[in-house]
Structure 1
């Protein structure tokens, strides 16, 4: 049974298309990434800087973020740290774009809170694969949250039953 069929069987609405925030000071790079992502059926929001992206994230938390590492002002690392420090009700999958794939830089990015990396120039197939990996992580997080909510509801029922049983004794 597919996840979509399972959702429909449980009477839940399917999740809307994921929203991806693309952050890059290069308009051409943002347009290229947005084009790839829209072809995947995703909603795309763009920001020209880390500061603008952070403001957007305070209004609406994106599901996935693809951010350039090197930008004037707030770079991708600072933006990633600020994004992770925000209190959100759900996880956001963060992909950093870099021109350099040295192990030290990857470690620094992971320590800042990035989930994945893409090396420039970005290839559509690799972007698609990394976004799909992020979507799997987000789907698992949603499923775990649903299971946790169900467990909390069951726990509340058991607590009420125990209180009633105690009253009867």
Structure 2
């Protein structure tokens, strides 16, 4: 009977210390620094994006092939230039779509349709099109077949 008590006590101490070890490690790490997965690529009016310059921060470059790169910030010499929310590439169900492509049939359902586009800072939909909210992005698609007409980043909702 004494051996069973010692075994249970030892197991309890082991599991208790493991939970304390994880808590101590988490306290030393601070916050999670893992970047979010890349969902979209925003359209950049700058054509010199392929040539990095000396002013590009090292955090926007990736050498390990695993960490996604973030687009370089646009020129800050014009502070009154409004940000662009236009998308050229949209990821839907792990597949890349561009303007002119057709979205999967399931996204033509009314559950994805945005009716109050003004409150979300979106332009008025063209005739026979509607706004849809897919993967945290706003996509203007045709009513009949779901052809992508325009894409806007979901960040446009928070525009001031």
Structure 2 length-normalised TM: 0.22
Q: Which has the higher strand share?
A: 2
Q: Which has the higher helix share?
A: 1
